[in-house]
């Protein structure tokens, strides 16, 4: 009988524990969303839904009456899910499109073009990675307010629309690995920098650009603080902010935990699907950055 490899067994045991610790909060969210808020306190330690019901989902979607919501101990408030979903899609898509487009051009300039002070400018630019985002929040808010862009889509997306140090650094690392002979061949055919970038470099960079787009989209989708500051109006309110508003609608002094978990599941579901379909590219991003 082959000897037991205890190191391998221990490794798998740790992996299983990490997976359970990672997935259990998602299960608990599902379990709470299918429970009755009124009965949750009595069965706080139960692993299965307490007094199984779909009432939380009906409340979130505005399909239950006030009497039904109160009877289940839930909030009488609702979430205009489709409006907030549309707002989140508009904001995340706009930010992702703009940031990937402008960051790829900046990364190409830093990686493939020769101009005085390039390395010094890049060093200063990347140093911004060490600046906490909270330091730029107040100046950005004052600027957006002075421009009259509060409670507008443009006010929400503008600070993140152009480029970020991480996005530029990420793509620059890949562009540095492209063989210079490709560009030389393009120049011999009469292609300039613009044509080379759009016709040759971008098609060769589908992998890292897709990876960056996924990362930016997820980050923008989950953003809460900035949309809360500049997008309080309901017509531009995103899902993350809407969840906070829904949580504050507490008719009996405690949050509608079942309704809140149902709303959270609705908000997280698009990102779960996106990551399930394209998560492999995120894993491959380590290779694209040039890290060995």
**CATH 1.10.3720.10 domain extents, the chain:** 81-235
What tens digit of pLDDT does each residue of 200-228 get? 888 888 888 988 898 899 999 999 999 99
CA distances from 88 to 28, 45, 108, 203, 214 (A): 25, 34, 30, 28, 15
User: In the structure encoding, which two tokens stand for residue 283, read together?
Assistant: 């894993």
**Model confidence at 143: pLDDT above 90:** yes
Q: For the range 220-229, what are the long-range contacts, defined as Cβ-Cβ under 8 Å and sequence gap of 24 or more?
A: 220/91, 220/92, 220/95, 220/96, 220/160, 221/88, 221/92, 221/270, 221/271, 222/271, 225/137, 226/137, 226/140, 226/156, 226/159, 226/160, 227/91, 227/156, 229/137, 229/141
Q: 145 or 37, which is more confident?
A: 145
pLDDT at position 292 is 42
| Rounded mean pLDDT, 266-290 | 72
Q: 66 or 167, which is more confident?
A: 167
**Model confidence at 116: pLDDT above 60:** yes
pLDDT at position 253 is 60
* Least confident range of 3-12, 73-82, 116-125, 142-151: 73-82
| Rounded mean pLDDT, 107-124 | 89
DSSP element (H, E) containing 263: helix 257-288
CATH of domain 81-235: 1.10.3720.10
């Amino acid at each position: 009988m082959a000897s037991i490899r205890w190191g391998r067994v221990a490794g798998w045991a740790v992996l299983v524990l990490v997976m359970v610790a990672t997935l259990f909060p998602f299960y608990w969210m599902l379990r709470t969303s299918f429970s009755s808020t009124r009965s949750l306190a009595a069965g706080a330690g139960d692993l299965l839904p307490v007094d199984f019901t779909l009432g939380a989902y009906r409340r979130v979607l505005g399909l239950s009456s006030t009497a039904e919501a109160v009877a289940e101990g839930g909030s009488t408030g609702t979430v205009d899910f489709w409006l907030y979903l549309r707002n989140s899609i508009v904001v995340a898509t706009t930010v992702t499109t703009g940031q990937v487009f402008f960051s790829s051009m900046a990364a190409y300039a830093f990686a493939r073009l020769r101009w005085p002070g390039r390395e010094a400018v890049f060093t200063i630019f990347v140093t911004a990675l060490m600046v906490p985002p909270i330091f730029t929040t107040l100046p950005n808010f004052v600027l957006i307010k002075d421009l009259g862009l509060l409670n507008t889509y443009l006010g929400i997306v503008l600070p993140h629309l152009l480029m970020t140090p991480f996005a530029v650094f990420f793509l620059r690392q890949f562009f540095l690995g492209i063989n210079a002979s490709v560009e030389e061949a393009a120049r011999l055919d009469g292609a300039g920098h613009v044509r080379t970038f759009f016709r040759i470099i971008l098609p060769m960079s589908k992998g890292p650009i897709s990876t960056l787009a996924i990362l930016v989209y997820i980050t923008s989708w989950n953003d809460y603080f900035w949309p809360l500051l500049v997008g309080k109006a309901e017509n531009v309110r995103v899902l993350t902010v809407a969840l906070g508003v829904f949580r504050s609608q507490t008719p009996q002094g405690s949050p509608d935990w079942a309704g809140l978990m149902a709303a959270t599941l609705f908000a997280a579901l698009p990102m779960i699907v996106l990551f399930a379909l394209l998560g492999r590219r995120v894993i491959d991003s380590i290779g694209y950055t040039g890290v060995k």
